[in-house]
Chains A and B, each alone.
Chain A
Amino acid sequence: MNPASHLGTSPIRTDAPAKVRGTLRYTDDLIRPGTLQTAVLFSPLAHAEIQKIETAAAAAAPGVRGVFTGADWPDVLIGLYMGDKPPLARGKVRYHGEPVAVVVADDEACALNALRLVKVEYAPLPALGSPREALAPGAPILHPELATYAKIPDILPEPGTNVANRTKIRKGDPAQAFAAADVVVESECAFPPGNHVAMEPRVAIAEYGADGRLEIDSSTQSPFEVRNLLARALGMPERRIVVRAGPIGGGFGGKAGIMLEPLAALLAMRFPGRPVRLANTREADLLSSPGRPGLQARVKLAARADGTLLGADIEFLFDSGGYADYAVNVSRAAAISCTGPYNVPNLKTDSLCVYTNHPFATAFRGFGHIELSYATERAMDLLAERLQMDPADLRLKNAIRRGDLTPTGAPMDENTGDLPACLARVRKRLAWDAQPHRVVQPDGKIRAKGISCFWKAPAIPTFTDAGAVLYFAEDGSATLGTGVIEIGQGAHEGLRMLVAEALQTDLDRVHVTRAVDTDRSPHDWATAASRSLFMAGRAALEAVADAVVQIQRTAAVPLQCRPEDLDVAGGRVFVRAEPARFLPLEKVVLGYVYPNGNAIGGPVVGRGRYITPDLTGLDPDTGAGKPWLEWTLGAEGVEVEVDPADGAIRVLQAACAMDVGKVVHPALARGQVVGAMAMGIGYSLCEGFVFDARQVVQNGSLRDYKILRYGEEPDYFVDFVETPQHDGPYGLRGLGEQGIVGMPGCLSQAASLAVGAHLAELPMTPEVLWKKMQESAR
């Protein structure tokens, strides 16, 4: 009577029909007549004083309902962990692309037409092009008001400097470790900021009702957080704000913070009763809305002659751009995991989030881990070279294991994944131990391999939560409501499988509510940090258990038994010892009706809750604490082919093995990892902003900002190890972001080997590789 387990099968996603037929409505597909349209004027300069803005001519243009500048909201500051950003620039602009003025009009053509009539006079200021420049003595201070910004206690800015956050880790006795070391290596590396390039540009549509309520439709990963942050920024209680979201067209962290919603809300409040649409063009999405941080890093390692790591001295300088947004916590996350997945007993780390005059940065897939991994993997490669050790052997020797202390001093627990097993699978796939790692082909092209290890822990509030409700319909089917946004990752699919598994029912008898609405959906922190299936999954399982109790209670009466003697499975509730005594669920879930019409019970509503237990903040001086919930460990490897004639690089194969605890839907799990690896290849080989000397972005359109295209992808190999995560539903842990984390490391190792030089900057474009080869030939 019980259907076979669903876990580990790969049913077709329930959103497939709507997606392949183009009928799924994303946020900007909600086209409503009467909507006011907007056009935004962006700063053409990276750093300048705004001397004058002329709006009168634009305001008088046909169809225009209003023209607004920063002066219209002199006190509003927006931020996630620290409120540092005005909705429109006030007094000065801090990055190329910062919004300066907005025209609101009856249609887009009118708005765009009027926008040309807005005249701004700027007095250029010297622009800061990197964290190191921003930290140099005498650098202009971008936020003189830093001391006055509202922030959460975990963020530690340094007023009077350009440091938006500094997270310190102090563990053991690093000075002693360096003194005792047989070998010390020091590595530096860097890359510029870039963008998520989700295919759906960000959009928010706001309406301010006569009842004083703000209604916002947004392409956000975090509707509850948007509600909460908006409430704070606008000084309006949460009960007067509703945010509706999802499904959205890719997020990758770029839709996790608060972006267009505040300005859309402020505009809507000027035009009560009319929806106002604020939609990014692709160019605005690239430049004006937040992207991902850049990095300058220095990693010093101390080791014994046999490769055992003794200590590390690490400095991460995150390029946060003109505003801090999520980047302050990205720098904090990188500190928490700063060593990569290696046991490093003695440690001194400073991870800084630094203001520059670049486009500002927010969360990005990997959240600090891709950055720290690149920096530490580059240093590990230097160490392997110095020791003349196989880079994979060096990693294996130092692989973090159960009982080892993480950088923040908390021990790796019984849930620790099996990194050696992951590494072994990648080695095998790449024939690492059977073939040379660098081969010159008959046609002169050079093939080379690289391998890396990674880890990732979600950097989340200590009270990260997820709620779930389970309703039932007349046919006995169940509908799960959560606050999880379907951003393409397939979390709704995974949740559906968990619920069906727990109810022991067919998959098609479980439905997951697609849209999230802060008025109606249970609270959920955010669809970020690869935590949805874990946390909302836990809540969903609790909701199922709660529903089952209610079902048992109702069914026990007509079945004339005790509630605890009943089981639910296969769409029935039955007496455990006597399964032939049963009721179909549809006779119970809305209440049981006797033949004479009398009824008992009532609708079953399952309630589930989850909140992260036992997490702490970090000690501000030492970083000690337990801020992490779980670690996903893994290894990645690549084989590349470089053409010495022009530096062209192709990734032939990319392999990833990670310990995910439990694979729920193998095809979707693989899809997440493959997509992340592809993004990591783009990150390493072609992506990133290019600036001129005044920090104006030179590649602010999709024509010039290159991401991976069809046919440039490698052969992917994905393998999973399943060491259970005991507090995860059915033993699972997060896997959505992790595939990107190790890619820059293994690609840099392979490309360095191919060109015969240690590469320490991204992206490794053909031009860069060609130049390196010319240099090393000399």
Chain B
Amino acid sequence: MTDPMTDADDRPVLIVGASMAGLRTAENLRRAGYAGPITFLGAEPHAPYNRPPLSKELLQTEGQGHEDVAFPIRSALEENVEWVLGRAAASLDTERQVVVDETGAEHPYRALVIATGLRPKPLPIDDHGLTGIHVLRTLDDAVALRQALRPGANVVILGSGFIGCEIAATAAKAGAATVSVVSQSRIPLERAIGPQLGAEVRRRHEAHGVRFFCENGLFGLVGDPSVERVILTSGVMLECDVLVVAIGSDANTEWLEGSGLDASDGVLVNGGLQAVRADGTVLENVYAVGDVARYPNPLFDEVARRVEHWNLPTETGKRAGQVLAAHLRGDDCAPIIEAPFAPLPSFWSDQYDMHLLAFGMTYLADRSEVVAGTLEDECVVEFFRGDELVGVCGIGMRGAVQGYRSRFTPPVAAR
């Protein structure tokens, strides 16, 4: 506890959520000179690991497990770090600076990093207690789904976003008897990468035998004790041994209820990743990073958004680590925070032999244009909001897509 004589505070920096964003924040805290105690409190039993392979390699490779996806723990985190895994945070008291976990144990902190990420939205209709229904976010989810994706299985995927499409590709490769994608959207991935690329993705899936049921939904399930058939809102009935729900995610913020933070859709933070209270005031010792954070990006506009791309846990972790280290040293954080926080979002997706790579916020665009190559082979597509270039996405042609990185620059900081 705080000792008024020496002003020493031996409480740790508490990182809730032991995954990529939390790990990157800890590494950057160390890089910025903080050598004091760090505690991770994580709901999963596993040390931090990389999620993208969960819908790709790990989902199709029998025997792969944590060791194939674990992040390396750098030497700077070998000392003075405590890992409390397999335990979820249940509540936060920012006055007393304490997080209470699900067992009732209290974790006092000097500074708190919120890195609890997202979880998949559940099946939107009653599951009647049926088995055979899956989601995919964690390693344990992936292992369970891999076991279910036996050759000859009838697989139905609800949702045609990146995760739904990647699971469809993996299931098709794994020798499923049928793979059906059911989606509200008109075109798969339309919201993410526009109608042209979305239609091309669909064409490639169909060439591998995947069927799409677009502008459609689930009406009911049949089976006992495991799902056997699904009935779509259009009336179509599909054989179904494995149902995967991939219709987006919600932020893991229930434990922040009553804490005073603005966690209405992810945790609102300022440009230093410091948490903003519902009344607009900033908590200098509470940070949010990764998928759970909501912040504006001056590369695009002033709207605070949650962005679910793999490179942002690293970018937010870097920034939060620098600001928090300065705060813990007692330095003025304002100069760091005033420099615009403008990370360029980047994402990729691998489906069959198709490699998509994108920069920017393609989903803000109202128009897209193929500027090089052809959709059926390799191409570069630019995305515009009005006249403003907001994103680029390629199939293959990585060098050309990488070349766009310098085209996104933050506005000169307002003086």
Q: Do A and B bind each other?
A: no
Interface set of A (CB-CB < 8 Å, partner B)? none
Residues of chain B whose beta carbon lies under 8 Å from any beta carbon of chain A: none
